[in-house]
């Protein structure tokens, strides 16, 4: 059954000093409730909607939405709505999503209470009360699953690994031997924590010889990792993901990296081994970071950039080679004129009878 959210609950949020600066109650009855949060076009009784435009406002009001959260630019305090509608104003819509939508989140209902009879749990594993363990889960010897953890079907937690309290491992997640996942984390399907790092060395026989990867991965508290990601175990020591850091889908962190706290990595982020990234950084989609690099705190890197050298100062960067964001925009704008410039230079050379001065490599490749 849908979870009903009442106006009184939202009023409590609005009264909280942490949220009151951007969520304000305007009017409505405490018992007015909503079972779903929906876009304005699907709004109606027993539903909540968020509106930022005049069109969205009209849709929600005409559909008799039960709870309406409107951006303050619509001046909701100056408007009249039916007494059946509970009205709130916000100055920050994304932040309001973050504090209101958890009231509707029924993720826990995806996981069957208790331990599924098909789960294979080693007798030496420590399983705390109130865990939810799905079908065909495998938990190895001496593994630790703390209270309130939820583990989806066909997930593997190997020997000596640990999963912290209230952490969610979705279906088909792999947590390698002795790796540690903290409290209140969420790891999405098909993600691997603790596969071997990519370590090989050429031998005298000209063959590649594997370097055993003997370290572990440590995921600190409140980390979220999207689907189809890979966090490799260290050669020695640990690969570490700092508290509160968030990864989108399809990200890769190589062995022995140290990722700081409260960073955000968009889809397709790759970082090579033994790189250190500070705290409060933001990386756009498809950013590639080289090995043995250090990146300072509060660095932002634009999408499709490549980082090949250490970044010592906080700031915003982009491009390849990496530049300040302002310089990168200028470089990108100038690149559209390169073909025209080449033609113009060629015409000038012909006019001056300087001949063809292309490089020998260019001539050979012609």
Whether the CB-CB separation of 75 and 56 falls below 8 Å is answered with no
Supply φ then ψ for residue 57, to 5 degrees. -60, -50
Kind and range of the H or E element at 255? none
State the pLDDT at residue 366: 55
Running DSSP on this structure, what letter comes out for residue 311? B
- Quote the distance between the C-alpha of residue 120 and its chain's center: 31
Class of domain 5-103: alpha beta
* Location of structure tokens 């990601």: 229
State the pLDDT at residue 343: 87
The CATH classification number of 114-327 equals 2.160.10.10
Active-site residue, 18 included: no
Determine the Cα–Cα distance for residues 115 and 109; give it in Å rounded to an integer: 14
Kind and range of the H or E element at 301? strand 299-301
User: Which one of 255, 262, 280, 351 is the catalytic residue?
Assistant: 255
Supply φ then ψ for residue 96, to 5 degrees. -70, -40
Domain boundaries, the chain: 5-103, 114-327, 336-366
Whether the CB-CB separation of 86 and 10 falls below 8 Å is answered with yes
State the pLDDT at residue 353: 81
Q: Determine the angle formed by the axes of helices 93-100 and 7-15, rounding to 10 degrees.
A: 120
Considering the entire predicted model, what is its pTM? Answer: 0.88
Determine the Cα–Cα distance for residues 277 and 279; give it in Å rounded to an integer: 7
State the pLDDT at residue 329: 87
Q: For residue 295, say if its preceding peptide bond is cis, omega within 30 degrees of 0.
A: no
Whether the CB-CB separation of 86 and 28 falls below 8 Å is answered with yes
Low-confidence ranges of the chain (pLDDT < 70): 1-2, 356-366
State the pLDDT at residue 363: 56
Q: Report strand pairing: 200-202 vs 208-210.
A: antiparallel
State the pLDDT at residue 362: 53
State the pLDDT at residue 278: 98
3-state secondary structure of 276: strand
Residue 34 β-bridge partners: 5
Determine the Cα–Cα distance for residues 230 and 254; give it in Å rounded to an integer: 8
* Location of structure tokens 């305007």: 26
State the pLDDT at residue 364: 56
Task: Confirm whether 5-103 and 114-327 share one CATH topology.
Answer: no
- Quote the distance between the C-alpha of residue 195 and its chain's center: 20
Let me know how long the chain is: 366
Q: Report strand pairing: 294-295 vs 174-175.
A: unpaired
224: Cβ contacts below 8 Å, ≥ 6 apart = 185, 186, 187, 188, 246, 247
């Amino acid at each position: 059954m849908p979870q009903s959210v009442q106006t009184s609950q939202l009023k409590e949020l609005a009264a909280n000093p942490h949220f009151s600066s951007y969520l304000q109650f305007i009017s409505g009855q405490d018992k007015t409730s909503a079972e779903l949060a929906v876009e304005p076009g699907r709004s109606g009784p027993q539903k909540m909607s968020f509106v930022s435009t005049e069109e969205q406002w009209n849709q929600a009001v005409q559909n008799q939405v039960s709870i309406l959260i409107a951006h303050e630019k619509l001046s909701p305090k100056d408007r009249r709505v039916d007494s059946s509608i509970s009205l709130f104003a916000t100055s920050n819509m994304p932040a309001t999503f973050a504090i209101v939508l958890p009231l509707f989140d029924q993720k826990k209902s995806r996981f069957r209470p208790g331990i599924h009879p098909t789960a294979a749990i080693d007798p030496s594993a420590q399983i705390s009360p109130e865990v939810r363990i799905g079908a065909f889960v495998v938990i190895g010897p001496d593994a630790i699953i703390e209270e309130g953890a939820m583990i989806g079907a066909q997930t593997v937690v190997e020997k000596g690994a640990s999963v912290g309290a209230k952490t969610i491992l979705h279906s088909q997640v792999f947590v390698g031997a002795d790796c540690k996942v903290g409290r209140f984390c969420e790891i999405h399907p098909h993600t691997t924590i603790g596969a071997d790092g990519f370590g090989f060395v050429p031998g005298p026989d000209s063959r590649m010889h594997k370097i055993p990867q003997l370290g572990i991965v440590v995921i600190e508290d409140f980390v979220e990792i999207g689907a189809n990601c890979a966090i490799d175990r260290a050669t020695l020591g640990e690969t570490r993901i700092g508290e509160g850091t968030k990864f989108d889908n399809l990200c890769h962190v190589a062995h022995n990296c140290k990722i700081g706290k409260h960073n955000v990595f968009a889809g397709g982020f790759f970082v090579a081994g033994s790189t250190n990234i500070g705290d409060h950084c933001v990386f756009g989609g498809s950013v590639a970071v080289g090995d043995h690099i250090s990146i300072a705190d509060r660095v932002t890197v634009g999408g499709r950039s490549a980082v090949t050298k250490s970044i010592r100062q906080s700031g915003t960067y982009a491009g390849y080679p990496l530049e300040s964001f302002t310089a990168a925009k200028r470089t990108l704008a100038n690149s559209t004129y390169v073909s025209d410039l080449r033609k113009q230079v060629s015409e000038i050379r012909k006019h001056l009878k300087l001949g063809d001065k292309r490089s020998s490599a260019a001539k050979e490749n012609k």
